[in-house]
Amino acid sequence: MPGTSAKEDGVVLGTIGCTVHFHRVELGFALASAFWGEGYMPEAMKRVCQAAFEDDRIARVQALCDEENTRSSRVMQKVGMQYEGRLRKYGHHPNRSDIPRDCVMYAIVRGD
């Protein structure tokens, strides 16, 4: 991640979860709000995508977020993922609603 102290002081800024399904990796991500807007998550996500494609078995890396979560959508776009569509009533996001929410799916595939 960019910056200096973040790398050197060992403070955990956020998390990226990776779930592998055969040829496919799904990423979930979150960053402490104090560090939003500094490009940390796109940089970290790019590195994770690169690492995933170093494994020849991986053909696709995907991520999704609530349809109104424009910050997360921007992260996925900046990583080079393409918008693939809307998953209706897919998400459970109690911070927004108790009702299942539409989500948007982004992905990058080998060769993009």
Q: Is 20 in the site for ligand COA (CB under 6 A)?
A: no
Interface pick for ligand COA out of 25, 31, 61, 107 (rule CB under 6 A): 31
Coil, helix or strand for 92? Answer: coil
Site for ligand COA in 35-94 (CB under 6 A): 36-42, 65, 69, 71-72, 74-75, 78
Binding region for ligand COA (CB under 6 A) out of 2-10, 23-31, 53-61, 94-102:
23-31
Q: Is 18 in the site for ligand COA (CB under 6 A)?
A: no
Question: How many residues lie near ligand COA (CB under 6 A)?
Answer: 18
**CB–CB of 100/89 below 8 Å?**
yes
- CB 15 → ligand COA: shortest distance, Å? 9
In the Cβ-directed half-sphere of 36, how many Cα atoms lie within 13 Å? Answer: 9
What CA–CA distance (Å, rounded) separates 3 from 5?
Answer: 6
Residues in the site for ligand COA, rule: CB under 6 A?
A: 28-31, 36-42, 65, 69, 71-72, 74-75, 78
